[in-house]
Chain A
């Protein structure tokens, strides 16, 4: 019995050490891993999508303005096929009253994604049946060779190699994200050839992408989820524009709502000042987008205002941290910028 207890203690200590060691060796925090660190059932909205989502929508600003909490289930170049599984994950931990699904990547084929795009997302999903299902679908979708499955199930087979890349920063929480929002100060003017005007023509986005979208819609309907599809503002190519139109038609035909901010002129995104690059808004663009979109969300969905709620104290803190960071980087007072923009939105 004594030996048995000793063995159990040894294993428990090992697990504790293992989890802590790999917490450092693992990928830096992203919006998938940070999602689990939030208090359960405190999110009003979960915003699912690729980097467009968390670069465009400043969740701390939206909270500051209207008191609703938005969390992200988004990573860089996240394959659209994982949307369903991230919603399922959100259902397990948050049960928000609204899901916003960014469709910027809805028409991208599997050849556009490498393993790193996939693993940045799936490796951060906690071990569960949902994760296993997601992996199963990914294996099929990407034709992952069977001998490589084990590397997805035991992610440390990959990350143990990261010890050479560790820096002091690896031991700290990711300071770049403010409740998931990533703030970029840099402005790059969009070239004239990149100034693209949205067209209404459609083009087939491929059987596989269509099936993925229809599966997602079916899941949403089967589970009676309140969902708003959005296309965040950025520059799209003609081909992608037309394929997205095809997707928009499918969504609208199914009775779900889509908001296309890529062609919304009232948003007043200025290509000269509001882009970080052609695919992402900078802090000025995201402020405009957040003010515009959050107003719509607050008015339409009537979320409870949590500003005075003690459980949401961290939201105020993160907004203050964001403002301080903005001040440091741009030497400007964010409240001043906000005041200027608020006149228009």
Chain B
């Protein structure tokens, strides 16, 4: 069920209505039913039901056992078993092709002509999210941070809460249970409705007006790389990052708005990432909950593991204290970033684009920081200025855009080909008033994009200082409604949706 479809609108209205009229005792049950409908709407089969059952049953039973045998060896075994089953299913459904491709490469390398055929497996929506969410649940139970859930249906709701299924964010069991299960009945709130709706509108604006439009350009350039090269590819690479961001954060805005209306607050996933001055900072503001999840459940446990501790000691002895302590840190980071890459998708393009290249950038930032400071000092560059920060932001954006060429490409080979084609000098396409419009977007689209992106960056900039929606709702009614109507009509008129054929051909012809 697409978040921008009329079916989703209808689905939400019915869910809101039922959720607010039933007694508190069964409010969660309405959410569970809605979530299951959402989960299976496009994908109902024995196979997908089985996927859900495997994860929910293993989370529930191993969660109970881990809780019962906490701090014992048996508890650890149950924890490991639970994680292996959930992770095993995730790998089976999403990463089989990654292994098969790797095997095929090896076979090719050793001159063997046999090739494993790639497989297509249907997985339930959001499996990458809810698998990790359930793993963190088991780990939290093991750590004693939470009690295991006694009601399997309530645990199912935690796993399948419909707003988070399409694009997260990662939620924590305790936060969720606090809001859904404890406290008073969630009553309908007019303020929450208004605030949630404005956030949904903002999300729709990002997706339908900006992201979809940028997508036309990006798809066209990537599909016609031999003809459209140089500046076209450079623009497409930058546009892809903006497309990705507006689509992803727009989806998050929609689900956050929906959840806000339901009275359940979800953690923020983005914080104006394009204002980041380094890649490290960028990732603190981009997909925040994934980063937090990986730090809590991968990075820190890894860093504190016996292996890393002994490595730390050995490295300090060999390379000295300063460098020695960095080696286990970088190794843990490398593992974490590789996992981030793998999580994004079962292909090497993801591992390189959203994993390894990010690690390299962060590693270089860390290693080169003293050098850079020295150069700035020697050249007398004032780094505490707007212009310097602007340079840093542009640099961060371009580095991230470069890495996303791999993320967007169909194969590593294609990504390298794209990069090769990018280095063609043809900046005139920006100025000759025709060339730019070869790639699906016309002059009107570019105008809309420029205005929309300026609006986006202004709002993002303001959001770094205060809550923009709160500020909006404090304004006088004429201004407030004016902004909301402008947003609604921008989506309705300039949004890229609806039938594929061109309305111009429908303009009334006399005969």
* Contact present for B190 and A3 (CB under 8 Å): yes
Q: Provide the bound-state CA to CA distance between A51 and B508, in Å.
A: 12
The answer to whether the Cβ of B498 comes within 8 Å of any Cβ in the partner chain is yes
Interface residues as binary, A76-87 with B (CB distance below 8 Å gives 1, 0 otherwise)? 110000000000
The answer to whether the Cβ of A339 comes within 8 Å of any Cβ in the partner chain is no
The answer to whether the Cβ of B497 comes within 8 Å of any Cβ in the partner chain is yes
* Contact present for B499 and A157 (CB under 8 Å): yes
Q: What is the minimal beta-carbon distance from B53 to any residue of chain A, in angstroms? A: 31
* Contact present for A162 and B504 (CB under 8 Å): yes
**CB-CB nearest in chain B for A76:** B511
Interface residues as binary, A108-127 with B (CB distance below 8 Å gives 1, 0 otherwise)? 00000001100110000000
What residues of chain A lie closer than 8 Å to B481, measured between beta carbons? 10, 13
* Contact present for B506 and A27 (CB under 8 Å): yes
The answer to whether the Cβ of B488 comes within 8 Å of any Cβ in the partner chain is yes
Q: Provide the bound-state CA to CA distance between A147 and B493, in Å.
A: 22
* Contact present for B492 and A164 (CB under 8 Å): no
* Contact present for A280 and B492 (CB under 8 Å): no
* Contact present for A116 and B498 (CB under 8 Å): no
* Contact present for A51 and B488 (CB under 8 Å): no
- Known A-B contacts A161-B503, A162-B503, A164-B444; A29 and B508 likewise in contact (beta carbons under 8 Å): yes
Q: In the complex, which residues 10-52 of chain A have their Cβ closer than 8 Å to any Cβ of chain B? A: 10, 13-14, 17-18, 21, 25, 27-30, 50-51
* Contact present for B494 and A30 (CB under 8 Å): no
Q: What is the minimal beta-carbon distance from B52 to any residue of chain A, in angstroms? A: 27
**CB-CB nearest in chain A for B491:** A160
Say whether chain A's binding surface is mostly helix, strand, loop, or mixed. Answer: helix
- Known A-B contacts A76-B509, A279-B511; A17 and B485 likewise in contact (beta carbons under 8 Å): yes
- Known A-B contacts A13-B485, A150-B6, A151-B498; A160 and B506 likewise in contact (beta carbons under 8 Å): no
Interface residues as binary, B1-40 with A (CB distance below 8 Å gives 1, 0 otherwise)? 0000010000000000000000000000000000000000
Q: Provide the bound-state CA to CA distance between A182 and B503, in Å.
A: 23
Q: Provide the bound-state CA to CA distance between A151 and B498, in Å.
A: 7
Q: What is the minimal beta-carbon distance from B456 to any residue of chain A, in angstroms? A: 20
Q: What is the minimal beta-carbon distance from B491 to any residue of chain A, in angstroms? A: 9
What residues of chain A lie closer than 8 Å to B495, measured between beta carbons? 160
The answer to whether the Cβ of B505 comes within 8 Å of any Cβ in the partner chain is yes
* Contact present for A156 and B485 (CB under 8 Å): no
Q: Provide the bound-state CA to CA distance between A77 and B506, in Å.
A: 13
A-B CB pair tally, cutoff 8 Å: 83
- Known A-B contacts A10-B481, A13-B481, A21-B493; A161 and B510 likewise in contact (beta carbons under 8 Å): no
What residues of chain B lie closer than 8 Å to A163, measured between beta carbons? 444, 493-494
- Known A-B contacts A13-B481, A161-B503; A51 and B510 likewise in contact (beta carbons under 8 Å): yes
The answer to whether the Cβ of A148 comes within 8 Å of any Cβ in the partner chain is yes
Contact of A120 among B489, B497, B508 (CB under 8 A): B508
* Contact present for A28 and B507 (CB under 8 Å): yes
What residues of chain B lie closer than 8 Å to A151, measured between beta carbons? 498-499
Q: What is the minimal beta-carbon distance from A92 to any residue of chain B, in angstroms? A: 23
The answer to whether the Cβ of A324 comes within 8 Å of any Cβ in the partner chain is no
Q: What is the minimal beta-carbon distance from B293 to any residue of chain A, in angstroms? A: 37
Interface residues as binary, A134-152 with B (CB distance below 8 Å gives 1, 0 otherwise)? 0000000000000010110
* Contact present for A119 and B510 (CB under 8 Å): no
* Contact present for B506 and A116 (CB under 8 Å): yes
Q: What is the minimal beta-carbon distance from A105 to any residue of chain B, in angstroms? A: 12
Q: A10-B481, A76-B510, A160-B493 are in contact. List 11 more A-B contacts (CB 8 A).
A: A13-B485, A14-B488, A18-B492, A21-B493, A76-B509, A77-B511, A116-B505, A157-B497, A160-B495, A160-B497, A162-B504
Q: Report, nearest first, the 10 A-B pairs whose CB atoms are least far apart.
A: A157-B498, A51-B511, A161-B503, A28-B508, A3-B190, A162-B503, A76-B511, A27-B508, A151-B499, A164-B444
A contact residues vs B (CB 8 Å cutoff): 3, 7, 10, 13-14, 17-18, 21, 25, 27-30, 50-51, 55, 75-77, 115-116, 119-120, 148, 150-151, 154, 156-165, 174, 176, 182, 279-280
Cross-chain pairs A/B with CB under 8 angstroms, 23 sampled = A3-B190, A13-B481, A13-B485, A14-B485, A14-B488, A21-B489, A21-B492, A28-B508, A51-B510, A55-B510, A75-B508, A76-B509, A116-B506, A151-B498, A157-B498, A157-B499, A158-B498, A160-B492, A160-B493, A160-B495, A162-B507, A165-B507, A176-B510
